[in-house]
Amino acid sequence: MSYETPANQRFAEATHQTIAWFWKRLNAGELELSPPFQRNPVWQVSQKSYLIDTILRGYPVPELYLQSSTTAEGDEVHTVVDGQQRIRACMEFVDGSYALTDDAGDYTGLAFSDLGDDLKRRIWQYRFVVRSLPIMEEDEIRDIFGRLNRNNVALNGQELRQATYWGEFITCVNKLSQDEFWVASKLFTANDFRRMLDIEYVGELVVAALFGPQNKKSSLDKFYSAFETDFPDRAKVEEIFAKVLGELTHILEWPNRWRWSKKVDFYSLFLALSSRADELPLNSADRVAFREKLIEFSESVNQLVRLPVGVSADPSVSLAARIYESGVRNSSDLASRRKRVMALQSVLWGPELTDELEESEASPVSRLATIEDLYASAASRDGEDDSPLDDVRE
C-alpha cells in the first residue's frame, strides 16, 4: 500500500530553541529579525511585559517560524519569518532595555538584572517551538508570512503590503519614505512610524502625483500589484518628490503652527505643488509670496472651520477658502480631496476662483485622465481587452 506525501510535509519539521540560543545567535550576528517583508517593531512595553510574565509562568507561546541557511563562507543565518515581536521582546528584556510593567503581575517594576538567579535561568531555558522552513524563493516566504498574518488584526494594510510586494513600486515608495523631511516635519507620530503609516501615506502621494487623488486606501493595493514588475515612472516620481519636498523646506519651517503640518492639508499642499513641478524650484521672491499666501489662506480656513453652525462666513473670505473648508469635513472623500487641491492651486498659482470656475471644476487635477483611460488607451494600442487596473478608482 502506498501513501501520498502530505502537501505540507516540507514544513513539518519542528524543533525547540531556548531564549539563550536566540541570544547567542543574535550576538554572533546570525539572527535576522528584520527581513524586508517583516513589519516594523510595534509592541509597546506593556505587551512585551505580558509576554515575559507568560514565560516566567512557564505558559506556552505560539510557535515561531525560522528559515536557516549557510553562506558559502560557512556562516549561518537564521531568518525570523514569523515571531519577530516575541523574539525582540525577549532579547530587549535580557539586554536591560526595559523593566516590566503592571501587565507582569508579581514581577512589576523588575528589570532582568533585578531577577534572582532562578528566574533568570527560567528565562534563559524557556523553549520556543520553532517551525523550520526549507530554502525557498523570497516570494514564497513573503506569501507564507502574509498568510500567517492575514487574519491577525494587529497587522494593518501597509504591513501586509510589505509582506506581499517587493518589486519596483514598493521599493520606490520605501526609498521616498526615508527622506529626512518626514521626521523633521513631525507629520507622523512614533506609532505611525512603527506601524508603517508613513510609508502608506507616501504611497498615496506617489499615486496622487501621477494619477490624481484617490478615494480609498484600498485602491493602493492595485497600484502596488500593477507596478510590481515594472514602474516606468519611478524616475519621474523621485524627481517630483525631490523638487516638492525641497521647495517646502524653503517656503515654510517644519513643523509649523499652520494647517500644513496636518496630514490632510499636507496632502493638498503636496499635490498643489507637484502639479506644477516643472516650474520648480521657485525664485526667492516667489517663495516669500507663497509663504505669505499659505499663512493667510490657513488662517482664513481656520476661521471658517471654527464658525458655529448656522453662522455665515464673512463676505470678504475668499471663495477658495470656502471651497477648501467644505472639503475638510470629509477629508478622505475623493470629491473633497479634489476641492481642496483645486482651491489651493488657485491660491498659489492662480487664476483666482470665481463661481463659474468652481462650477466647471477648472483644475488641472480634475482634468487628469483617469488611470482606466490611460490603460484602456494602452490596451487598444496593444490589441488587449483588459486593463491591469480594472476598477482602481472604486
pLDDT band at 389 (very low <50, low <70, confident <90, very high): very low
Say what the pLDDT of residue 285 is: 96
Tell me the pTM: 0.59
Rounded Cα–Cα distance for residues 174 and 72 (Å) = 30
Say what the pLDDT of residue 263 is: 94
Residue found under cell 510557535: 63
Say what the pLDDT of residue 98 is: 93
- Looking from the CA of 297 toward its CB, the CA atoms found within 13 Å total 27
pLDDT band at 354 (very low <50, low <70, confident <90, very high): low
Q: Express each pLDDT in 212-239 by its tens digit.
A: 988 766 578 889 888 988 999 999 999 9
pLDDT over 80 at 122, yes or no? yes
Rounded Cα–Cα distance for residues 79 and 138 (Å) = 12
Task: Report helix, strand and coil shares of the chain as percent, to nearest 5.
Answer: 55, 5, 40
318 or 164, greater pLDDT: 318
Buried b (16+ CB within 10 A) or exposed e, 289-301: ebeeebbebbebb
Rounded Cα–Cα distance for residues 376 and 134 (Å) = 42
Say what the pLDDT of residue 163 is: 65
> Which residues, including other chains, have CB under 8 Å from residue 156's CB and lie 6 or more apart?
195, 196, 197, 200
Query: CA nearest 366: which of 340, 387, 331, 328?
Result: 340
DSSP structure class, residue 327: T
155 or 6, greater pLDDT: 155
Buried b (16+ CB within 10 A) or exposed e, 54-69: bbbeeeeeeebbbbbe
Say what the pLDDT of residue 18 is: 94
Stretch 186-195: mean pLDDT: 88
Say what the pLDDT of residue 13 is: 62
Q: Express each pLDDT in 133-181 by its tens digit.
A: 766 666 666 666 666 655 554 567 887 787 677 788 988 998 999 999 9
Stretch 22-49: mean pLDDT: 78
* Weakest mean pLDDT among 195-209, 243-257, 326-340: 326-340
